[in-house]
Amino acid sequence: MTTIMDGKAVAAHLSEGIQDALEESHKHGIQPKVAFVRVGDLSDSISYERAAMKRFEKLSIETEQYHFPEDISARAFLTKFREINEDYSVNGILLLQPLPEHIDMKRVVELMNPMKDIDGMTPFNLGQVLTNEKNRLEPCTPAGVMEMLDFYDIDLKGKNVTVVGASAVVGKPLSLLFMNRDATVTTCNLYTDDLTAKCSNADVIVSAAGAMNLIRAEHVKEGAIVVDVGINFNDEGKMVGDVDYEGVKDKTSYITPVPGGVGAITTTVLAYHLMMATDYQKEPVLFLER
Ligand code: NAD
Note the pLDDT tens digit of each residue in 195-245. 999 999 999 999 999 999 999 999 999 999 999 999 999 999 999 999 999
Are the CB atoms for 232 and 212 separated by under 8 Å?
Answer: yes
Q: At what angle do helices 140-151 and 171-180 cross, to 10 degrees?
A: 40
Whole-angstrom distance, CA of residue 29 vs CA of residue 23: 10
Q: Which atom of ligand 1 is nearest to the CA of 265?
A: 40
Ligand 1 atom closest to 241 (CA): 32
- pLDDT above 90 (res 283): no
* Per-residue model confidence as pLDDT tens digits over 27-45: 999 999 999 999 999 999 9
Q: Is the dihedral of CA 272, 18, 3, 253 positive or negative?
A: positive
- What is the residue-averaged pLDDT of the chain? 96
The pLDDT > 70 percentage for the chain reads 99
Amino acid letter for position 148: M
Asked if the 29-119 domain carries CATH number 3.40.50.10860, the reply is yes
Residue with the smallest CA separation from ligand 1 atom 14 is 209
pLDDT class for 286, splitting at 50, 70, 90? low
Binding site residues for NADP(+), as ranges?
Answer: 165-167, 231
Q: Model's pTM, two decimal places? A: 0.97
For position 200, what pLDDT does the model report? 98
Predicted confidence (pLDDT) per residue in 244-265, tens digit: 999 999 999 999 999 999 999 9
Determine the longest span between alpha carbons in the chain, in angstroms. 57
Interstrand relation of 224-228 and 252-255 (parallel, antiparallel or unpaired): parallel
Fold agreement (29-119, 140-264): yes
pLDDT band at 284 (very low <50, low <70, confident <90, very high): confident
The DSSP line for 5-40 is: --HHHHHHHHHHHHHHHHHHHHHTT---EEEEEEES
Please give the distance, rounded to the nearest whole angstrom, from the Cα atom of residue 95 to the centre of ligand 1.
Answer: 19
Determine the residue of 50, 145, 147, 170 to mutate for testing ligand 1's pocket, defined as the one with the most ligand atoms within 8 A of the Cβ atom. 170
Rounded Cα distance, 238 and 159, in Å = 33
Q: Supply the pLDDT for residue 116.
A: 98
For ligand 1, atom 3, name the residue with the nearest CA.
167
Angle between helices 140-151 and 266-282 (to 10 degrees): 100
Pairing of strands 184-188, 204-207: unpaired
CA of 208 to the centre of ligand 1 (A): 4
Residues 88-99 pLDDT 10s: 999 999 999 999
Distance of alpha carbon 174 from alpha carbon 157, whole angstroms: 15
Per-residue confidence band for 287, with pLDDT thresholds at 50, 70 and 90: confident
Q: Which residues line ligand 1 (CB under 6 A)?
A: 141, 164-167, 169-171, 188-190, 192, 195, 208-211, 214, 229-232, 262-263, 266
- If one counts every other C-beta atom within 10 angstroms of the C-beta of residue 35, the result is 22
- Give every CB contact of residue 211 below 8 A, 6+ residues apart in sequence: 230, 232, 242
Q: What share of the chain in percent tops pLDDT 90?
A: 96
What class is the 140-264 domain?
alpha beta
What is the residue with the minimal CA distance to atom 9 of ligand 1?
166
Per DSSP, 6 falls in state: -
Q: Rounded CA gap, 250 and 279, in Å?
A: 43
Residues 6+ apart with CB under 8 A from 125: 114, 117, 136, 137, 138, 139
Domain boundaries, the chain: 29-119, 140-264
Confidence of residue 290 (pLDDT cuts 50, 70, 90): very low
Across residues 17-22, what is the average pLDDT? 97
pLDDT digits (tens, 9 = 90+) for 146-178: 999 999 999 999 999 999 999 999 999 999 999
Looking at residue 236, its pLDDT comes to 97
Question: Average of pLDDT values for 65-75?
Answer: 98
